[in-house]
Amino acid sequence: MDDVLSTASGVLGAAGPARALLGRLAELRNAVTALVEHRSAGDPTADDPLRGLYLSEDAVGRLLRTWPRAVPESVWEADAAPDASAEWPPDADDRLARTAARLRLTELDTAVLLIALAPDLDRTFEPLYGYLNDDVSRRRATVGLALDLCGLPAHLPEARARFHLSAPLRALGLLTVEEPERPLLTRSLSVPDRFTAHLLGDDIPDAALLGLLHPMPEPLPGAEHDAAFVRRLAARLGDGPFTVYLREHRAGDALAALASALHEAGVDALRFQGPPHHVPELLREARLTGRAAVVDGLPEHPGPMVAELSAATDVTVLLTDSRPYDPQWSAHDPLVLQAPRRPAGGTASWRTALGPAADGFDLAATVAPYHLGGEHIVRAARAATALAAFDGTALTAAHVQLAARQQSASGLERHARRIRPAVDWHDLVLPDGPLAQLRELALRARHRDRVLGDWRLSAGGGRGRGVLGLFAGESGTGKTLSAEVIAADLGVDLYVVQLSSIVDKYVGETEKNLERIFTEADRTDAVLLFDEADAVFGKRSEVKDAHDRYANLESAYLLQRLESFDGTALLTTNLRANIDDAFTRRLDQVVDFPFPDAGQRLALWRHGLSHVPRAEDVDVESLAEDFELAGGSIRSAVVTAAYLAAGRDEPVAAGDLREGARREYRKAGRLVPDETSW
């Protein structure tokens, strides 16, 4: 048996962690050999091939004669008996020793781990353990066998306590005590496969975390106040394990700050996005590799997950979420911080991500409206480069804007209709006054972070940095088109709020739906359009019954929510007088859209016909003089004329256009100018 067991460390080619672990395994084999020889001495059934399957009379007699069983003083080397209080000294080439030192495990804990994992490394331990367990079917170490091999009596409280659920080995997820229905001494011991693989030098994460671990984003340059926050957080990371809850305003803000702080502190991290029941595997992986655990986003009910992560005082845990921290989540409060808000633009970060390809256009003006975090900037830059390669052209501002919009996609589609703008300022036919107001709205949306943030012109009191505008005018005068033009100028999408999806007959539900919209709009680079806004932002009335009271509550909620709004919202109405004055005071611009005069109608007819084939005798000037139509109606008239001409497979004639204009008059219930009778 000695010859067989003496091959403990003789695996040729084993190197690094594997060689060190096999060396320790050799010592364990010597201990197992000594215990086997001790047990087999005077055992009449030692040579019985069926030993362990039944109890003979001789075996029962021996048990009675030797009870209580004596334990050898030590089956280890004379100077190497495990100590329940001594810590294992670290060894550069021994992962078991390094892990024990990092996790402050005692020599006894380390010896128990080695005993438990031995069958996973060498199958010759299984029959030996079966013999020592007096049961050939129980081929793993048991609590009693581990205590025997360590030379500790089974009645010693300190020894038994090392297998308690709260003891380090089990609390850290390094040891599993199976079969709780059995007596403690006969319960089997096992070591997770991931821990065994780690000790052998395998750094592949636990299979249970497959698809749940993601790379940290590359750190990108930020604003000066970001740098100060990053320096303080990096200094704290260097002081040892702790837990921090980093609340972010927009998705990506916290992760960008963490990536920079971890990079500056020289700390590696595991970024986790997954369900709470995988937290034990995450913490074990962090302990084994000595890395921090970054949990990016919490579940709907985060209390149990936060409590479990906060209780792990030996691991640095970095939590990020958009919700404020609730002390009810955990008895161990983390360090609660507010992630620095990444201002729109971030030209330095974009330039770093895009490289020299960004020199061909005005990058600062292109990215000014976007509040993307570091990871999203990198992904948007990668997508923009791919789009340019697909088009076979150099990188342009349009590529960057399209990629940025894709990264800023949101959940607004549940309550709003998404419009990808396909217009520009040339599509607007308006007087100079309203046009200048519209351009100023776009200017405010682009530079609000500089004016209200860097220049400290915010009104305070918890007020947001939103841009709010009201478009008032008759139907068809260009209100919705103007909102689309502003969105196109900013390079973002337009979301038209569907009132049917937010107005609810039940008390309080309308406010909840509006809150979801505003919250999502705050976190998204988009323009929010409330069409027919007087249905929601109407005037408050005198309270005469419960309906009036609850209607006024909705208006009061909207007034408060607009104060803290950070996005861009535009309201349109055909009846400006119906909008509550309190809403009007909070608006940045009120743009009145006048009914077009003859000159503007002529420009609208020409713009509508710019891409339509038409006959040479079409007199656009007479159309503008004879038919008083708004821009929307003129477009509808052109569309009607185009269909009539397409049906004949001919260019649009003057009669087609006049017929289209007449139909618009009839739809509005107006008398047609050139009809003599009905």
- In the block, tokens 């004379």 appear at 78
Residue 15 lies in a domain: yes
pLDDT range class, residue 507, cuts 50, 70, 90: confident
In a domain, 162, yes or no: yes
Residue 292 covered by a domain: yes
Q: Are residues 446 and 547 in the same domain?
A: yes
pLDDT, tens digit, for every residue of 591-645?
A: 999 999 999 999 999 999 999 999 988 999 999 999 999 999 999 999 999 999 9
Q: Are residues 366 and 302 in the same domain?
A: no
CATH of the domain at 561: 3.40.50.300
Q: Please name every residue paired with 495 in a beta bridge, in sequence order, or none if there are none.
A: 418, 528
Are residue 278 and residue 259 in the same domain, yes or no?
Answer: yes
Q: Which of 593, 610, 633 is the last residue of a domain?
A: 593
Mean pLDDT value of segment 567-571? 91
DSSP string, 202-250: --PPPGGGTTTEEPPPPP----HHHHHHHHHHHHHHTT---EEEEE-SS
Judge whether 414 lies within some domain.
no
Under the banding of pLDDT at 50, 70 and 90, the label for residue 286 is very high
Computed over every residue of the chain, the mean pLDDT equals 84
Residue at 512: amino acid letter: K
In the prediction, which pLDDT does 368 show?
87
**Confidence at 90, pLDDT banded by 50, 70, 90:** low
Q: Which of 319, 338, 357 is the last residue of a domain?
A: 338
The predicted model gives 406-418 an average pLDDT of 79
Please, are residues 580 and 470 in contact by the beta-carbon 8 Å criterion? Answer: no
Query: Any idea what the CATH number is for the domain that residue 655 is in?
Result: 1.10.8.60
Radius of gyration of the chain (CA): 37
Residues 7 and 148 in one domain: yes
Nearest to 481, CA basis, from 413, 414, 430? 430
74 burial level (CB within 10 Å; 0-12, 13-18, 19+): middle
CB count within 10 Å of CB 178 equals 12
Pair 271, 374: CB distance under 8 Å = no
* Overall average pLDDT of the 502-511 stretch: 76
Task: State whether 299 and 220 are in the same domain.
Answer: yes
- Interval 98-127: pLDDT, tens: 889 888 899 899 999 999 999 998 887 888
Instruction: Please indicate, yes or no, whether residues 368 and 493 belong to a single structural domain of this protein.
Output: no
24 in any annotated domain: yes
Question: Could you tell me the pLDDT band of residue 64, with boundaries at 50, 70 and 90?
Answer: very low
> Both 183 and 116 in a single domain?
yes
205-264 pLDDT, tens digit per residue, is 999 999 999 999 888 776 555 788 999 999 999 999 999 999 998 878 899 899 999 999
**Which amino acid, residue 633?**
S
pLDDT recorded at residue 673: 78
Whether residue 326 is found in the same domain as residue 355: no
> 623-635 pLDDT, tens per residue?
999 999 999 999 9
Query: Hey, how many other C-beta atoms are within 10 angstroms of the C-beta on 66?
Result: 12
- Looking at the structure, do residues 13 and 149 belong to the same domain, yes or no? yes
Partnered with residue 94 across adjacent β-strands are 91
Instruction: For residue 660, give the nearest of 644, 640, 633, 630 by alpha carbon.
Output: 640
Domain of 657, in residue numbers: 598-667
pLDDT of 584: 83
Give residue-wise pLDDT tens across range 178-205: 999 999 999 999 999 999 999 999 989 9
Q: Which residues contact 139 (CB under 8 A, 6 or more apart)?
A: 119, 126, 127, 129, 130, 133
Write the CB contacts of 197 (distance below 8 Å, at least 6 apart in sequence): 204
Q: How confident is the model at residue 12 (pLDDT cuts 50, 70, 90)?
A: very low
The pLDDT, as a whole number, for residue 58 is: 61
Under DSSP, the state recorded for 51 is B
Q: Residue 78, exposed/middle/buried by CB under 10 A (0-12, 13-18, 19+)? A: exposed
Q: Is the pTM of this model over 0.85?
A: no
| Mean pLDDT (whole number) for 436-462 | 85
Number of domains present in the structure of the chain: 5
Q: Write the pLDDT tens digit of every residue in 307-357.
A: 999 999 999 999 999 899 999 999 999 999 999 887 766 788 899 899 999
Contact 453/463 with Cβ under 8 angstroms? no
The percent of residues in the chain predicted with pLDDT above 70, rounded, is 85
pLDDT recorded at residue 550: 55
Region of 155 please: left (phi>0), alpha (psi -120 to 50) or beta.
alpha
Phi-psi label, residue 597: left if phi above 0, alpha if psi -120 to 50, beta otherwise: beta
Band (pLDDT 50/70/90 cuts) for residue 169 is very high
Residues 53 and 120 in one domain: yes
Q: What are the b/e assignments for 428-443, b being 16+ CB within 10 Å?
A: bbbeeebbebbeebbe
Q: Residue 129's CB: how many other CB atoms inside 10 A?
A: 24
Q: How far apart are the first and last CA of the chain?
A: 117
Residue 565 · residue 517 · CB < 8 Å: no
How far apart are the C-alpha atoms of 576 and 328, rounded to whole Å? 47
**60 and 180 part of one domain:** yes
Q: By CB neighbour count within 10 A (0-12 exposed, 13-18 middle, 19+ buried), where does 228 fall?
A: exposed
**593 - beta bridge partners?**
473
Task: With respect to residue 343, please indicate whether it lies within any of the assigned structural domains.
Answer: no
269 domain residue, yes or no: yes
